[in-house]
């Protein structure tokens, strides 16, 4: 019988490497979990920014096409902005908690609604008289950005549009 020497690992060597492999696996799992948390938070922030940009774009187009703007404070902290267009179309922006609801009523009696949601923020409307040039309507988006210390940091973005100017100087 031919006896050959088997190459392999001894039980002591396997038991010595096991804690090191366990520690490396734990560290890798922790890094992967943290990376996925950062990725999820970044996706939420990008989504919130795109929702805000979409609301501002739609708001500015409506204000530019309007001939009159009126703001009214409703009960329970709601704000209602009414824009009247020259073709008798009425566009209303209403804030309800952390939502903005845009309702458009045309001369054909058709009503179209659109809604934006701001989970960590609020939306405000203001109307200013700009000398003899007419009204300027402001929209202010206030969001609390999450931080890792547990408190949120407020971030304010404001945009304005002149009533009836079509976006031109």
* 20 vs 41: which has the higher pLDDT: 20
- Write out pLDDT tens, residues 30-87: 999 999 999 998 888 788 788 888 888 988 888 888 888 888 877 676 778 888 888 8
Residue range 112-130: average pLDDT?
Answer: 83
Q: In this prediction, what percent of the chain has a pLDDT beyond 70? A: 83
Report the candidate in 43, 40, 49, 42 with the shortest Cα–Cα distance to residue 116. Answer: 49
Report the candidate in 84, 154, 148 with the shortest Cα–Cα distance to residue 121. Answer: 154
State residue 32's pLDDT score: 96
95 touches 123 (CB < 8 A): yes
68 touches 75 (CB < 8 A): no
SS (H, E, C) 31-88: HHHHHHHHHHHHHHHHHHHHHHHHHHHHHHHHHHHEEEEEEEECHHHCEEEEEEECCC
Structure tokens at 6: 């088997």
Residue ranges per domain, the chain?
11-162
Give the separation between CA 160 and CA 46, rounded to whole angstroms.
Answer: 22
Q: What angle do CA 103, 108, 112 make, to 5 degrees?
A: 25
Helix (H, G, I), strand (E, B) or coil at 137: strand
Report the 10 Å Cβ neighbour count for 57: 11
State residue 46's pLDDT score: 84
Which of the given ranges, 4-13, 27-36, 91-100, 127-136, has the highest pLDDT on average? 27-36
Report the candidate in 68, 64, 58, 138 with the shortest Cα–Cα distance to residue 103. Answer: 58
Q: How far is CA 74 from the centre of its chain?
A: 24
Residue range 112-116: average pLDDT?
Answer: 88
| CB-side neighbour CA atoms (13 Å) of 162 | 12
Residue range 17-28: average pLDDT?
Answer: 94
């Amino acid at each position: 019988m031919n006896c050959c020497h088997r190459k392999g690992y001894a039980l002591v060597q396997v038991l010595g490497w096991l804690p090191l492999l366990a520690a490396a696996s734990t560290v890798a799992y922790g890094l992967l979990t943290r990376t996925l948390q950062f990725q999820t938070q970044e996706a939420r922030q990008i989504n919130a920014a795109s929702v805000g940009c979409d609301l501002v774009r739609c708001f500015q187009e409506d204000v530019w096409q309007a001939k009159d703007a009126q703001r009214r404070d409703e009960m329970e902290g709601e704000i209602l902005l009414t824009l009247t267009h020259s073709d008798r179309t009425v566009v209303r922006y209403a804030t309800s908690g952390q939502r903005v609801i845009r309702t458009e009523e045309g001369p054909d009696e058709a009503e179209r609604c659109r809604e934006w949601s701001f989970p960590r923020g609020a939306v405000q409307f203001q109307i200013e008289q700009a000398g003899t040039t007419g009204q300027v309507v402001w929209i202010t988006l206030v969001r609390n950005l999450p931080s890792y210390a547990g408190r949120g940091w407020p971030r304010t973005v404001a945009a304005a549009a002149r009533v009836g100017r079509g976006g031109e100087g």
